[in-house]
Amino acid sequence: MASTVSVVQRVQSVNPATGEVLAEFDPARPAEVQATVARAREASRAWQQLDVGERARYVLRIKEALYRRRHEVAALITREAGKPRVEAVVGEVMVALDTLEYFAHHGAEFLAPQPVPHHNLAVRFKRGRLMYEPHGVIGIISPSNYPLNIPFGEMAPALVAGNTVVLKPSEFTPQIGLEIRDLCEAAGLPSGVVNVLVGDGSTGGALVDSAIDKLIFTGSVPTGKRIQTLAAERLLPTVLELGGKDPMIVCADADLETASSGAVWGAFTNAGQACLSVERLYVARSVADHFTELCVDKTRRLRLGTGDDPSTDVGPLIRPRQVAIVEDHVTDALAKGAQVLTGGRRPDLPGFFYEPTILGVNHSMKVMRQETFGPVLPILAVESEEEAVAFANDSEFGLSASVWTRDSSRGDRLARQLHAGAVMVNDCISYFGVCEAPHGGIKASGIGRSRSRLGLHEMVRVKYVDVDLVPQLPKLWWFKYGAKAKNMMDGFLEFLFAPTVTRRMLGSLKMIVSIGRKL
């Protein structure tokens, strides 16, 4: 009988600007995943015993280690994820440093027990409070597009809150994942508190299936759905930060110079591989021609190249499969009548590049409906604000959106009408760098929130503790029941809720008489 040999694909670190294989790793298998989670569980016992200030000091030491290695880390991000160096420094290292510091500084405040005052007379002699307790072991599965700032954005609150962490970085950025592990080691974190498992989707699947207490997943909608199905089997709590198709609305009164620069940056930063990228643009017809010309002109001036060349504005995509999706969306758009205003092809470069592309489109095209996650800016002229909002909301996604106008009340009105987890007025994407801002989507863009106080609260279980300050006081709702008890409670209800003062007074009389009889 022929034996079956299972060939496990190695995880490759590849420079997307050249296609060169930089390193190869064996993916962690299920047994290693289970053992790592067991180690994290063991480490969590002592980690939880530290007070929040001590844990915060460790997190600050990670920040210091990252700061010391900032140049090497930025260079690695450019090499393995293809980002221009400025984006590696600002969008990754700076955001990660800021996030680590933010949670270290605010953890104690956000985790302090919260008093819960009671308004009902019947329970006035009790004191309630909310206590925040760590889940235990948090699993983090992260994507390739922000391989440093996303994991740290989730690890920092997890650690401060008293959890240990098992991180599975993207299979496209394994070296950055291992750098995160090394930074935590350099910070002197106790063994087992931060664990990094290099691997692909099967490693991620094994982590979902392991004994972790909560999963924080960031990635695509299809993977998120698969994970949620698996997690449902054992009611594993999850946060899902998924894909987007973020609309940008440019009103007729917008500052078109600023809005066009914003649109070009929002669509092409990180070669369009940001969950918050401007993926579709609706512009008022009266200014559409001029606005589009500005966008096209600014896009033609972008320099495509390798991220280590300081003059590069736009780098490569992460893998050929991502270039293929971009090509498919552009081909579909052309078949449905789109105009290519600039770009629209792969350049003659060795890596996984696609030219920054602007398309004149209609709403039926894939490039307006599905996440492209590449350097394509489709522009559609609209007749009115209402039409812009209707198009923007006609999407399965709801991550973020932006509105560009000089009129703050219009900005506010449109922000309220848009179906999204966040709306920026006169900027795009950059709220992700605001530590105080919660991040997360609605509809298919996800469940739960990361970053901010709300992100920290995803890392804890809320326990309500209630203390009776005068336990000797009889509880009128305890046994024994009967006609008197019923009369008393009827009176109490009337006293609390009857619509007129007179009826409330009568209710209180009825209650007092019945109390006397019941006691």
Catalytic residue list: 241, 275
Check binding of 144 to ligand NAD (CB under 6 A): yes
Check binding of 170 to ligand NAD (CB under 6 A): yes
End-to-end CA distance of the chain: 84
Q: Which is nearer to ligand NAD, 110 or 146 (CB)?
A: 146
Q: How far is the CB of 36 from ligand NAD (least distance, A)?
A: 15
Check binding of 168 to ligand NAD (CB under 6 A): yes
Q: Which is nearer to ligand NAD, 172 or 291 (CB)?
A: 172
Residue number with the smallest Cβ distance to ligand NAD: 204
Among 138, 148, 275, 428, binds ligand NAD (CB under 6 A): 275
- Which range touches ligand NAD (CB under 6 A), out of 181-189, 196-204, 247-255, 309-317? 196-204
Q: Which of residues 350-389 bind ligand NAD (CB under 6 A)?
A: 371, 373
Q: How far is the CB of 440 from ligand NAD (least distance, A)?
A: 7
Bridge partners of 140, per DSSP, are 167, 216
Q: How far is the CB of 35 from ligand NAD (least distance, A)?
A: 18
Nearest Cα residue to 386 out of 421, 349, 408, 413: 413
Q: Which is nearer to ligand NAD, 259 or 444 (CB)?
A: 444
Q: Which of residues 228-267 bind ligand NAD (CB under 6 A)?
A: 241-244
- Which range touches ligand NAD (CB under 6 A), out of 20-28, 46-54, 93-101, 439-447? 439-447
- CA–CA distance, 70 with 224 (Å, rounded to integer): 31
List the alpha helices (DSSP H) in 301-446. Answer: 320-335, 366-369, 385-393, 408-417
**Measured between alpha carbons, how far is residue 406 from residues 278, 430, 437, 508 in Å?**
20, 19, 23, 58
SS (H, E, C) 129-168: EEEEEECCEEEEECCCCCCCHHHHHHHHHHHHCCCEEEEE
Among 39, 69, 127, 226, binds ligand NAD (CB under 6 A): 226
Task: Kindly give the interhelix angle for 70-81 and 52-68, rounded to the nearest 10 degrees.
Answer: 70
State CA 431 to chain mean position distance.
Answer: 12
Check binding of 204 to ligand NAD (CB under 6 A): yes
Check binding of 201 to ligand NAD (CB under 6 A): yes
Among 27, 82, 84, 143, binds ligand NAD (CB under 6 A): 143
State CA 149 to chain mean position distance.
Answer: 11
Q: What is the helix, strand, coil percentage profile of the chain, to 5?
A: 45, 20, 35
Nearest Cα residue to 59 out of 107, 131, 111: 107
Q: Which is nearer to ligand NAD, 168 or 510 (CB)?
A: 168
Q: How far is the CB of 124 from ligand NAD (least distance, A)?
A: 44
Residue with tokens 């901010």: 452
Residue 409, judged by CB atoms within 10 A of its CB (0-12, 13-18, 19+), counts as exposed
- Which range touches ligand NAD (CB under 6 A), out of 29-37, 80-88, 197-205, 337-345? 197-205
Q: How far is the CB of 373 from ligand NAD (least distance, A)?
A: 5
Bridge partners of 215, per DSSP, are 139, 238
Check binding of 12 to ligand NAD (CB under 6 A): no
The answer to whether 212 and 37 have CB atoms below 8 angstroms apart is yes
Among 149, 218, 270, 312, binds ligand NAD (CB under 6 A): 218
The number of residues that bind ligand NAD (CB under 6 A) is: 32
Query: What is the pattern of x (binds ligand NAD, CB under 6 A) and - over residues 384-423?
Result: ---------------x------------------------
Q: Which of residues 446-465 bind ligand NAD (CB under 6 A)?
A: 446
- Which range touches ligand NAD (CB under 6 A), out of 96-104, 215-223, 300-308, 343-351? 215-223
Q: Which residues of 168-191 are buried (b: 16+ CB within 10 A; e: fewer)?
A: bbbbbbbbbbbbbbebbeebebee
Q: Which is nearer to ligand NAD, 145 or 163 (CB)?
A: 145
Nearest Cα residue to 325 out of 273, 282, 253: 273
Check binding of 145 to ligand NAD (CB under 6 A): yes
Q: Long-range contacts: 119-126, Cβ < 8 Å, 24+?
A: 120/496, 121/496, 122/476, 122/477, 122/492, 125/468, 125/469, 125/470, 125/473, 126/466, 126/467, 126/468, 126/469
Cβ atoms within 10 A of the Cβ of 104, count?
23
- CA–CA distance, 223 with 75 (Å, rounded to integer): 29
- Which range touches ligand NAD (CB under 6 A), out of 4-12, 141-149, 253-261, 458-466? 141-149
Per CB under 6 A, residues contacting ligand NAD are 141-146, 150, 168, 170-171, 200-201, 204-205, 208, 218-220, 223, 226-227, 241-244, 275, 371, 373, 399, 439, 441, 446
